[in-house]
Amino acid sequence: MAVPQVAIVGRPNVGKSSLFNWLARRRLAIVDDHAGVTRDRMVTLIEHEDRFFELIDTGGIGIVDDDDLTDDVSRQIELAINSADVIVIVVDVQSGIMPLDESVAERLRGIERPVILVCNKADQPHQDIQAEEFHKLGRGHMVQVSTTQNRNREQLLDLIVDRLPDANEEVHAETQMKVTIVGRRNVGKSTFVNTLAESDRMIVSEVPGTTRDSVDVRFEMDGQTFMAIDTPGLRKRKSQRTDLEYYGMHRAQRSVRRADVVLMFFDASETVSKVDKQLIGYVMENHKPCVFVINKWDKLHNTVPTDRWVRYLRAQFPTLAYAPIAFITGQTGKNVKALLNHSTMLYKQSCERVSTGQLNRVVRAAVEAHIPPLHQGRRPKVYFATQVATQPPTIVLVVNDPKSIGNDYQRYLLGVFRDHLPFGEVPIKMYLHKRHRNEEDPTEIK
């Protein structure tokens, strides 16, 4: 089970970023009186009552962006809402209900997930009565808070944790593994799906862009049931001439989010494009296991050695050096079964969970072999590590100062985890968590 996510939403200038910083106890998001400062989603890990969750800050719903990025901001908000297990709606007690507050509540009307209504800027207890008018929004349990006066922080965190999915609840996943096939136009995705299904399930044509929506296709192989998700072929945003192409891109992104494993298709006779890199960037952003699939290999297998393509891909995507590479001919089915078997292995890796003892033995050995470099004249301290989620494997490293562990050392630790833990070919999330003063003093990893 992945780390639960909590999305903060609301109209502009109600204090969403202030609330985000306040709950995180760190100044992470920019806070400014000018509306529209927040555009991208910002994510941080929060711990409360022995539960971890990812808190997501979003832009203001209804903002008109000064740089013509309104659609992009709205898309980021939509992504946060779609991925959230709990939604926090923020309103401003001092300004009262505004038409945009009602628009926010209406936008979330069909969302069947827990909602908490946070009445911000209730700096004094006597202002709590002003919050009563927000009941008419009809969304979620209400709590009055003040980020400036530090009112009711613990109460809000308790409400959030109470509404998170049960950490001990057994997750009943679908019986089939979901494999999403992505790539540029005309790289053979639909032909591959037809080969898996052993039928003409998808229209196959030499005309680029034949597939216009994401299509789920169930199939069986060796007694196992799988779901293949075919997606529209993508091209550069500036080349998207119709609404169908625009929405096709977003449906492809949604299919990536649904995937257990992503198969990134390339045409063996073509070089990597900007669209390929954008797709891979989205796969990485969502921490999905990925296989690079070189399709139509029958065209080149007698003229180009496989290791040349391997070196080429590794140079194009150096941060995905752990991702396996497969060479197939989708039309004939050559190597397709091996590809599915390897995809199943990746899925199992993403679901693996290691004990805290095993993880800390690996961390201790890593720190002993390569001590963290000095930061501002001080040696960083690593206290202990724990795995808090799967799909993707998520590891929390408790340290004295998260800022003291640089990116190079983080990459070193991730490499060690892949070498010594059962996560060798899948993305790993790692959070650096500052030890609270009231925590018991665990044995420091020296």
Rounded to an integer, what distance in angstroms lies between the CA atom of residue 384 and that of residue 397?
6
Rounded to an integer, what distance in angstroms lies between the CA atom of residue 83 and that of residue 89?
15
pLDDT for 204: 35
Mean pLDDT of 397-417: 95
Q: Which tens digit of pLDDT belongs to each residue from 172-183?
A: 444 579 999 999
**Backbone angles phi and psi of 252, in degrees to 5:** -65, -40
> For residue 278, what are the contacts with CB-CB under 8 A and spacing of at least 6?
234
> For residue 178, what are the contacts with CB-CB under 8 A and spacing of at least 6?
226, 227, 229, 258, 259, 260, 261
pLDDT mean across residues, the chain? 84
Instruction: Using the Cα atoms of residue 295, residue 296, residue 301 and residue 305 in order, give the sign of their dihedral.
Output: negative
Going from N- to C-terminal start, the domains of the chain cover 5-162, 177-351, 356-434
Residue 129: both structure tokens together: 């009565």
Collapsed DSSP state (helix, strand, coil) of residue 100: helix
Q: Mean pLDDT check: name the lowest of 16-20, 133-137, 187-191, 268-272.
A: 187-191
How sure is the predictor about 445, in pLDDT bands with cuts at 50, 70 and 90? low
Residue 203: both structure tokens together: 């229209």
Residue 341: both structure tokens together: 């078997």
Give the helix ranges, DSSP H, for 370-427.
407-420
Q: Which tens digit of pLDDT belongs to each residue from 307-350?
A: 999 999 999 999 999 999 999 997 788 898 999 999 999 999 99
- Residue bearing the bigger pLDDT, 438 or 208: 438
Whether the Cβ atoms of residue 349 and residue 426 lie closer than 8 Å to each other: yes
Q: Report which of 190, 182, 229, 192 is spatially closest to residue 206, judged by C-alpha positions.
A: 190
Q: Report which of 105, 180, 129, 120 is spatially closest to residue 151, judged by C-alpha positions.
A: 120
pLDDT for 63: 64
For domain 177-351, the CATH architecture is: 3-Layer(aba) Sandwich (3.40)
- Please determine whether the domains at 5-162 and 177-351 fall in the same fold group of CATH: yes
State the amino acid at position 385 in one-letter form: A
Q: Which CATH class is domain 356-434?
A: alpha beta
Q: Is 115 left (phi over 0), alpha (psi -120 to 50) or beta?
A: beta
Tokens 């060798």 appear where?
A: 424
For domain 5-162, the CATH architecture is: 3-Layer(aba) Sandwich (3.40)
Q: Which tens digit of pLDDT belongs to each residue from 188-197?
A: 888 888 888 7
Residue 161: both structure tokens together: 């944790």
Whether the Cβ atoms of residue 179 and residue 227 lie closer than 8 Å to each other: yes
Answer whether residue 438 shows pLDDT above 60.
Answer: no
Q: Report which of 254, 252, 263 is spatially closest to residue 209, judged by C-alpha positions.
A: 252
State the amino acid at position 231 in one-letter form: T
Q: Report which of 335, 326, 207 is spatially closest to residue 264, judged by C-alpha positions.
A: 326
What residues are designated binding site for GTP? Answer: 10-17, 57-61, 120-123, 183-190, 230-234, 295-298
Rounded to an integer, what distance in angstroms lies between the CA atom of residue 197 and that of residue 221?
9
pTM, 2 dp: 0.78
Residue 381: both structure tokens together: 């301290």
pLDDT for 34: 47
Collapsed DSSP state (helix, strand, coil) of residue 8: strand
Residue 43: both structure tokens together: 């994510």
pLDDT for 65: 54
Instruction: Using the Cα atoms of residue 388, residue 389, residue 395 and residue 396 in order, give the sign of their dihedral.
Output: negative
What residues are designated binding site? Answer: 10-17, 57-61, 120-123, 183-190, 230-234, 295-298
Answer whether residue 2 shows pLDDT above 70.
Answer: yes
Tokens 């993880």 appear where?
A: 359
Collapsed DSSP state (helix, strand, coil) of residue 184: strand
Percent of the chain with pLDDT over 70: 83
Dihedral angle computed from the Cα positions of residues 49, 54, 59 and 60, in that order, rounded to the nearest 10 degrees? -40
Q: Which tens digit of pLDDT belongs to each residue from 355-401?
A: 999 999 999 999 999 999 999 889 999 999 999 999 999 999 999 99
Task: State how far Cα 188 lies from the chain centre.
Answer: 27
Instruction: Return the exposure string of 388-420: e unless at least 16 CB atoms fall within 10 Å of the residue's CB, then b.
Output: bbbbbbbbbbbbeeeebbeeebeebbbebbbeb
Task: State how far Cα 221 lies from the chain centre.
Answer: 29
Instruction: Return the exposure string of 50-69: e unless at least 16 CB atoms fall within 10 Å of the residue's CB, then b.
Output: ebbbbbbbbbbbbbebeeeb
Pairing of the two strands 382-389 and 394-399: antiparallel
pLDDT for 312: 96
Answer whether residue 35 shows pLDDT above 60.
Answer: no
Full strand arrangement of the beta sheet holding 394-399: 382-389, 394-399, 429-434
Mean pLDDT of 97-102: 92
Answer whether residue 222 shows pLDDT above 70.
Answer: yes
pLDDT for 171: 43
Q: Which tens digit of pLDDT belongs to each residue from 225-265?
A: 888 887 766 555 554 444 445 555 677 788 899 899 999 99
